[in-house]
Amino acid sequence: MNIKKTIWGQWQSALLLSCVLSSSMLQAQSASDASKSNEENTPAAQPARPASGIATDDANYVIGVDDLLSINVWKEAEISRVVTVRSDGKISLSLVGEVTAGGKTPKELKAEITEKLKSYISEPEVTVIVQEMRSKKFNILGMVTKPGSFQLSGSMTILDGLSVAGGFRDFAKKKAIYVLRKKADGTQERLPFNYNDVIKGTHSEQNVQLMPGDTVVVP
């Protein structure tokens, strides 16, 4: 009788162990299949190539002092870097040395750097990106909350500029606002801006787009 109980117990243990092993194998197979499925559905990583174009909407953007530039030379990490245009309008790069960036478009600067690198690198691929347009600024003076110099971004209008300056202070003469703008011949013109009329939809043409160097005066 004891022998039968012993055999029966051993058989039960063997059966339980077999069930546990089978369950573990099924779970492992399921995990393996899921892993393979994820690998098949995940696209293979592609090597990064230098981006084209600049960070501004204007393809004819002219680089100026204080602009932040990203210079990338394909497969040349030692040369690639982010630089700020110095007060003399120049930047410095390894192998290239000093280059005048101010007054050039990113496309023109790219061409010059590429040409200089040909003495050291076979078929250099260069990208010039304007990361921050710090050189384009305008001024707001007079009866506004925060008078001063501000960065000009995108297609800002006079209304946009007044908003950036925090709006008007008490007793501001909103009908007598004007913009001082330097013309190509070096002379200065005065553009009137009647705030009250503009926000009513009258004389909306006075809400002109601000240009680099403009000064908005709020009497």
- The answer to whether the beta carbons of residues 151 and 134 sit under 8 Å apart is yes
pLDDT in tens, 105-143: 999 999 999 999 999 999 999 999 998 888 888 999 999
CATH number of the domain to which 176 belongs: 3.10.560.10
CA distance 191 to 210: 11
Residues 74, 12 share a domain: no
What 3-state DSSP class applies to 25? helix
pLDDT in tens, 22-66: 555 545 455 455 444 444 443 333 334 444 344 564 668 889 988
CA distance 105 to 136: 14
Neighbours of 195 (CB within 10 A): 20
In this prediction, residue 136 carries a pLDDT of: 86
Q: Is the pLDDT of residue 162 over 60?
A: yes
DSSP class of residue 185 equals T
Q: Is the pLDDT of residue 17 over 60?
A: no
CA distance 122 to 157: 46
The stretch 178-195 carries a mean pLDDT of 93
CA distance 60 to 108: 10
Give how far Cα 199 sits from Cα of 21, 42, 50, 170, 191, Å. 79, 53, 45, 18, 17
Number of domains within the chain: 3
Q: Which residues form the domain of 197?
A: 137-218
Residue 60 lies in a domain: no
Q: What is the pTM of this model?
A: 0.56
Residue 63 lies in a domain: no
Last residue of a domain, one of 132, 147, 168: 132
Residues 127, 84 share a domain: yes
**43 pairs with which residues across the strands?**
none
Mean pLDDT of the chain: 81
Residue 170 lies in a domain: yes
In this prediction, residue 183 carries a pLDDT of: 86
Give how far Cα 207 sits from Cα of 163, 191, 202, Å. 13, 10, 10
- The answer to whether the beta carbons of residues 187 and 181 sit under 8 Å apart is no
In this prediction, residue 29 carries a pLDDT of: 54
